[in-house]
Chains A and B, each alone.
Chain A
Amino acid sequence: MPNVIDINRPGTGNLHKLLPSQGLALNRTQLDLTDVHYTVAGKQILSKVNLALHAKGITAIMGFNGAGKSILLKVMHGIVSPTRGSVHWNKEPTNAEHRLQQAMVFQKPVLLRRSVKANIDFVLKQRKSFAPATRNALLARVGLDEKYHVPARLLSGGEQQRLALARALACRPSILFLDEATASLDPASTAIIENIVHEQAVAGTKIIMVTHDAAQAARLADYIVFMDAGTITEHNPSHHFFAAPDSQAAKAYLDGRLFHHDS
């Protein structure tokens, strides 16, 4: 399926500037969620989620705590099955082959109890693409090229998250999911990860990230999906969202106010 957007631009977070003035052409999508519901222990976490995400660029999912953002990300990634509804990739139900082209970085990196290089080698071997040069390049890219033999669990929080990102990139993903990947990192580590995410988006990987950091979303994202109480209240270009959010919940969120549904 041809992409409608030329992603080879100087920066991310500016996709809307390159789009036709009539608005985003969201008709050609890579990831479609149709009537997705997710219920656990009788509690509705996601409800009537219909979402069409563009093949390229960066989409940030925002919303209050408990809005269902992380679950939505996991449903898209296929590691949580929706109670009802479907997820399609390029108009086909997502299958094992599609999912091998996705990777995810979690808020708390889960690293194998092995050295830095062994963590990368594990994925490269699993994907049958192991080559020392590939591993070395990945580690150099995240600034861990001098820590090959260090046990992964002895790295700092920022280094662990960079290793988790390198491991995700070892999967050569078409879609990269980031679940608050920089939530507990210092500004330097956050900047390194943001730069890599930006480069990856420029190279053509679709980035779908959950973040509470509005400034980060404004810096990086082309689109914002805003969630409230398990539903999507808006899906707009980033500039539109930050200038004039459609929903009251999003306005309250950006103003730093709690939102009460009866208000």
Chain B
Amino acid sequence: MQESAINIAVNLITQGDPDLYEIIGLSLRVSLSSVALSLIFGLTLGAALATGQFRGRAVLNIIINALMSMPPVVVGLLVYLALSRSGPMGWLGLLYTPTAMIIAQTFLITPLITALSRQVIEDLYLEYKEQFASLRLTQSQRIKALLWDARYSLSTVALAGLGRALSEVGAVIIVGGNIEHLTRVMTTAIALETSKGDLALALALGMILLGLALLINILLSSLNLSARRQAYA
């Protein structure tokens, strides 16, 4: 079965199957968009938690860490309730659209990006703190400098977020509905083919997904290696 799955995967890619490329394109669009949004929210919150001294910081850290392990189906359910017709955001008509999937994945990934970036920035801040105090940097100047200097480590954080987004199925299937040519992504397609008993096709799609993740990892690892050689990481 494995060999036939490989053949199917190669054939799907080399023959330029339009359905497959549509699914891959949507997977990348949804995942990259949600990672981009999560980076905006997560890095801001992570930097604030790493450098700020405010009431409730410890509690916020605990909540963020707890949210990291929130099951995707629960996130999907909460976003579904918010976006369903009777929900508070129902009037937007976003349920069963790629936008709903992006929203769900953003909620899912933001705690991960926040917690990991907080750790990266906090470690660097411990090193820089006294020097920053001596230079009389403002809070925003500190955060900008830290984000820039930690950019290579933070790219690994972004990668972890992308990995979670690409591999996620529970939330997107609830709010997206796995509708062909509209909200079907790699993971939901794999779930569907498996349920239909077409294990070879499901495995082929899984291999393509793995290949994509591998490619992104290789690119970012090369970037990090190059930075490390330059002592910038």
Could you say which of B17-25, B46-54, B124-132, B209-217 contacts chain A? B124-132
In the assembled complex, how far is the CB of residue B96 from the closest CB belonging to chain A, in whole angstroms? 45
Q: Is the CB of A100 within 8 A of B136?
A: yes
Q: Is the CB of B134 within 8 A of A79?
A: yes
Q: With an 8 A cutoff between CB atoms, is A110 at the interface?
A: yes
List 10 A-B pairs, Cβ < 8 Å: A79-B133, A104-B134, A106-B134, A110-B130, A112-B149, A113-B232, A113-B233, A114-B149, A122-B145, A151-B231
Residue of A nearest to B141 (CB): A126
Q: With an 8 A cutoff between CB atoms, is A154 at the interface?
A: yes
Rounded to whole angstroms, the CA-CA distance of A104 and B135 in the bound complex is: 8
A98-124: CB near B (< 8 Å → 1, else 0) gives: 011011101000101110000000110
Q: With an 8 A cutoff between CB atoms, is B222 at the interface?
A: no
Residues 126-157 of A at the B interface (beta carbon under 8 Å): 126, 151-154
Q: With an 8 A cutoff between CB atoms, is B230 at the interface?
A: yes
> What are the 5 A-B residue pairs with the smallest beta carbon separation, nearest first?
A153-B231, A110-B131, A79-B133, A113-B149, A104-B134
Q: Is the CB of B231 within 8 A of A113?
A: yes
B contact residues around A153 at 8 Å (CB): 231-232
B151-193: CB near A (< 8 Å → 1, else 0) gives: 0000000000000000000000000000000000000000000
Q: Is the CB of B135 within 8 A of A123?
A: yes
In the assembled complex, how far is the CB of residue B139 from the closest CB belonging to chain A, in whole angstroms? 13
In the assembled complex, how far is the CB of residue B36 from the closest CB belonging to chain A, in whole angstroms? 24
In the assembled complex, how far is the CB of residue A207 from the closest CB belonging to chain B, in whole angstroms? 15
B contact residues, range:
10 to 19
A contact residues, range:
20 to 34
A contact residues around B223 at 8 Å (CB): none
Residue of A nearest to B130 (CB): A79
Q: Is the CB of A126 within 8 A of B127?
A: no
Q: With an 8 A cutoff between CB atoms, is A77 at the interface?
A: yes
Residues in B lying within 8 Å of A, measured CB to CB: 127-128, 130-131, 133-137, 141, 145, 149, 230-233
Q: Which residue of A99, A102, A106, A114 contacts B131 across the interface (Cβ within 8 Å)? A: A106
Rounded to whole angstroms, the CA-CA distance of A103 and B137 in the bound complex is: 12
Q: Is the CB of B149 within 8 A of A151?
A: no
Q: A151-B231, A153-B231 are in contact. Are A106 and B149 (CB under 8 A)?
A: no
B contact residues around A1 at 8 Å (CB): none
Rounded to whole angstroms, the CA-CA distance of A96 and B231 in the bound complex is: 33
B contact residues around A151 at 8 Å (CB): 230-232
Residue of B nearest to A77 (CB): B134
Q: A77-B134, A96-B136 are in contact. Are A110 and B127 (CB under 8 A)?
A: yes
Rounded to whole angstroms, the CA-CA distance of A96 and B136 in the bound complex is: 8
B contact residues around A154 at 8 Å (CB): 230-231
Q: With an 8 A cutoff between CB atoms, is A75 at the interface?
A: no
Rounded to whole angstroms, the CA-CA distance of A123 and B231 in the bound complex is: 20
Of listed B130, B137, B149, residue having the most chain A CB within 10 A: B130
Q: Which residue of A102, A106, A114, A152 contacts B130 across the interface (Cβ within 8 Å)? A: A106
Rounded to whole angstroms, the CA-CA distance of A166 and B60 in the bound complex is: 40
Residue of B nearest to A111 (CB): B131
Q: Is the CB of B128 within 8 A of A110?
A: yes
Q: Which residue of B133, B135, B141 contacts A171 across the interface (Cβ within 8 Å)? A: B135
A contact residues around B133 at 8 Å (CB): 79
